[in-house]
Amino acid sequence: MFISLEGIDGSGKSSISKMLEDYLKSKNLKVFLTEEPTKEIFDVKSLMEMNLDVYTRIFIFMADRVEHIKKIKRAIEEGYVVISDRYVDSTFAYQGAVLKSILKDMEKAYQYLDCIYNPFRYDPDIIFYLDVDPKTGISRIKRKREFFEDIEFLNDVRNFYLFLSVKRKYVKIDSNGSLEYSFKNILKYMEKI
Ligand code: TYD
């Protein structure tokens, strides 16, 4: 099984990913917790500090993903449950939010990104989308780091996630409350399946 966690910065994905890993391990499952961007072929995080064009960013994240998918597939074949803290829906939502302002159309932006993803497509079985108000998200990360995206941009990213929610069959989790509250709703879903 392949699970991805998505959401804007400060939605609690990383903490929830670890909580989910512990829960699945307690059920005696083998778990491979991974994240994007990876550090596999290049240092994506330091590249992101450069003032790069959106198209350059798209290809960097996609290239990183092509290599990541090989690792994910290997883990699945070896019987692991894979949890990825961010995956392709981050490119759809973050780069999609920027492309939308260029192409003036959300659907066109999504179609373009989906076309690039298509040849190596490997979709998660479950996409948990942790939905948080950007103001709340920012106030959470402000406590932890200096750099963060501005609220307007995060609003656009959130709108893109919401736009994809039905199309990409997200399991939407209200993440405005405590981590425990979000995780309880994730468990409710996991127990059902
Ligand atoms: P993030 O998971 O927020 O890292 P951390 O919390 O450890 O700093 O990811 C870093 C940033 O990269 C985040 O702002 C989202 C962005 N990103 C994209 O824009 N596109 C992508 O495809 C991915 C995977 C991440």
Per-residue model confidence as pLDDT tens for the chain (193 residues): 999 999 999 999 999 999 999 999 999 999 999 999 998 888 998 998 899 999 999 999 999 999 999 999 999 999 999 999 999 999 999 999 999 999 999 999 999 999 999 999 999 999 999 999 999 999 998 766 655 678 999 999 999 999 999 999 999 999 999 999 999 999 999 999 8
90 lines ligand 1 (CB under 6 A): yes
- Helix or strand or coil: residue 153? helix
What is the spatial distance between Cα 28 and Cα 134, in angstroms, rounded to a whole number? 36
Q: What is the pLDDT of residue 146?
A: 57
Pick the atom of ligand 1 nearest to 44's CA. 12
What is the spatial distance between Cα 12 and Cα 129, in angstroms, rounded to a whole number? 10
Centre of ligand 1 from the C-alpha of residue 36, in Å: 7
Centre of ligand 1 from the C-alpha of residue 93, in Å: 11
Centre of ligand 1 from the C-alpha of residue 23, in Å: 24
Are the C-beta atoms of residues 132 and 175 closer than 8 Å to each other? yes
Ligand 1 pocket test target in 40, 46, 50, 86 with most atoms within 8 Å of CB = 86
